[in-house]
Structure 1
């Protein structure tokens, strides 16, 4: 006798199980369980859709005083890694899409990013400062294998000797060692691998399509062995879920050659707070309330505190405890707590284009 169909609880390979309307939507749709499920008991598995986008601009300026970079570049909108806690999810609401499943299944590839980058670097008004890849969505998410937009942009930056930093959860960054090594030789690049937990099962729930934690540590090792400075970004630290791994992550990264480390506490802006509650109810129902109380403790009694210098590190007893644990572990393992090292800015030369005088004489 076959078992009756079971109500689906998760969607394999996806971090969020719903498509809640964005905060700008005027209508609301409420799901209703009428008892009809697929015969095999599996939920529908939404495929990844990629739409091609022509970017009107590609370098974003950051004026946040608590971030270590002034410029950023995002080759993609949305992120297939599906991290349940991702603070960038609400950006999809500006596209009239959901911060839930839409964010990780309906992606946008800025196919002209390299050409647009070249144009913007040629402007007299361009101020040379390290451009960060990974400020909003991961530059090495799975669709980068097909579109290679991140790689194309790195080629431009190497050509004109422009500094950059990379934050990623994907070991695919190793693919571009042929570009990163010459950049590193000129002191123009620094990479951070973001590691949330060393528990593979937990990571598969938190960030289902990101590289496994041990493989990210190995990427730190391989980058440093190749001469590319790679540190670790312990992010986000989630109270009662991932905080136990803080010291172990720092020790593993240091053992892999990392010399820099940083961390952030979980951020739940706008729609993310409800999506993360949904994730907790699905995977950790027995401690969901406790986790949210701890998050509120570090956010002044709220789910999120957007104030500069508070949003990243938090406050209160738990926030201070994490800061102390991080500082002690960094000293123990010889890790620099600066969020990035000083990269050179004096080597920059605007990228050439057809018709430049140098081209007439075969120059570069």
Structure 2
């Protein structure tokens, strides 16, 4: 049973008090369904961020947008919106900051004296192919810079809009400087519409995996997050589908609800699934030592208890059954030019 009062098309059902604000005001009768998405241009001084978390595999990431229209209630990036003076709730989905100068900043980064190339994760905080990308095309411009400089980039998205840029991705794949990680936490379309309301449909996601793979672009699938009681019965079905579509590897994470993510998720699941909300929350607590979140490095990836162990074992079976013998390529840095000049020597 679903609560009829749920705001459709978004994860957050209300705004939250920004932890950095001393005073807040929110009208009781505000119609959040009528709130339109707004875009604000911001002017960062850098676009490439160094990733310092020991349990994350990438060294650099870049995000052309802050905030995300996809509306996933469990998104770990929600608390970052508070640093901009916004709420991690509805504001995160409806107030999007746009970094139009990102391509120029990326060029400057590549031109730094002594820079040694390492693959950069395109996204990592909010989705680089969220709906705003149709209008602003910043991700496409960033990919063009990477192609010009022969610099490796890993794309992380849950939007089939990535296919728009296949004309750039194919030549990049020919030089082994691009891969795509597709986030597919469920292949149940009814559940997908509630979990991630403004992402691509299940059919279009699987189609994108297939088309990218057929064009020689290596695809990894992130089955993330696994939420016990919602999608924890799906891993084997998802792994079979994405393997058949051509994915070369997969990863997964267990849901964790840190800081402002917790009240957003709790409010969402109580609205979207009132009949099983408490069961799901209790199952999450069983994986997190009685809490809903976990920040400890490495522990946040593993979880604890019988439920977590069952999920890990299921993915072990899936790896052996559907991905044995498959290998995901390591992107190359040897062709990096350090210049847009196409006449420079491209190979060592």
Counterpart in the other structure of 2:112? 123
> What number of residue pairs does the alignment pair up?
343
Bigger relative contact order (CA 8 A; separation at least 6): 2
Retained in 2: the 8 A contact 1:50–1:109? Answer: yes
Retained in 1: the 8 A contact 2:103–2:141? Answer: yes
CA separation of 1:343/1:18 partners in 2, compared to 1, >3 Å: closer, same or farther?
same
Which runs of 5 or more structure 1 residues have no equivalent in the other structure?
1-6, 353-357
Counterpart in the other structure of 2:33? 44
Which runs of 5 or more structure 2 residues have no equivalent in the other structure?
none
| TM-score normalised over the length of structure 1 | 0.89
Match runs of 1:11-50 below 5 Å:
11-29=7-25, 32=28, 44-50=33-39
CA distance in 2, matches of 1:242, 1:363: 50
CA distance in 1, matches of 2:4, 2:42: 34
Retained in 2: the 8 A contact 1:267–1:304? Answer: yes
TM-superposed deviation, 1:31: 6.5
TM-superposed deviation, 1:125: 4.1
Greater mean alpha carbon deviation, residues 59-68 or residues 19-28: 19-28
Retained in 2: the 8 A contact 1:261–1:337? Answer: no
Match runs of 1:229-244 below 5 Å:
229-244=218-233
TM-superposed deviation, 1:100: 0.6
Retained in 2: the 8 A contact 1:75–1:110? Answer: yes
TM-superposed deviation, 1:346: 1.3
Retained in 2: the 8 A contact 1:11–1:45? Answer: no
Match runs of 1:212-291 below 5 Å:
212-291=201-280
Residues 1:342 and 2:330 aligned together: yes
CA distance in 1, matches of 2:258, 2:91: 17
Residues 1:69 and 2:58 aligned together: yes
TM-superposed deviation, 1:22: 1.6
Retained in 2: the 8 A contact 1:260–1:336? Answer: no
Retained in 1: the 8 A contact 2:218–2:329? Answer: no
Greater mean alpha carbon deviation, residues 68-77 or residues 326-335: 326-335
CA distance in 2, matches of 1:51, 1:335: 46
Match runs of 1:164-243 below 5 Å:
164-243=153-232
Superimposed CA distance per residue, residues 166-212 of structure 1 (whole angstroms, 9 cap, x where no aligned partner): 11110000111111111111111111110011111111111111001
CA separation of 1:130/1:63 partners in 2, compared to 1, >3 Å: closer, same or farther?
same
Retained in 2: the 8 A contact 1:330–1:337? Answer: no
Name the SS of the counterpart of 2:318 in structure 1: helix
CA separation of 1:111/1:323 partners in 2, compared to 1, >3 Å: closer, same or farther?
same
TM-superposed deviation, 1:27: 2.4
CA distance in 2, matches of 1:363, 1:262: 37
TM-superposed deviation, 1:313: 3.1
Residues 1:9 and 2:5 aligned together: yes
Larger CA Rg, structure 1 vs 2: 1
Superimposed CA distance per residue, residues 213-232 of structure 1 (whole angstroms, 9 cap, x where no aligned partner): 22111100000001111121
Residues 1:333 and 2:322 aligned together: yes
RMSD between aligned residues: 2.1
CA distance in 2, matches of 1:363, 1:342: 24
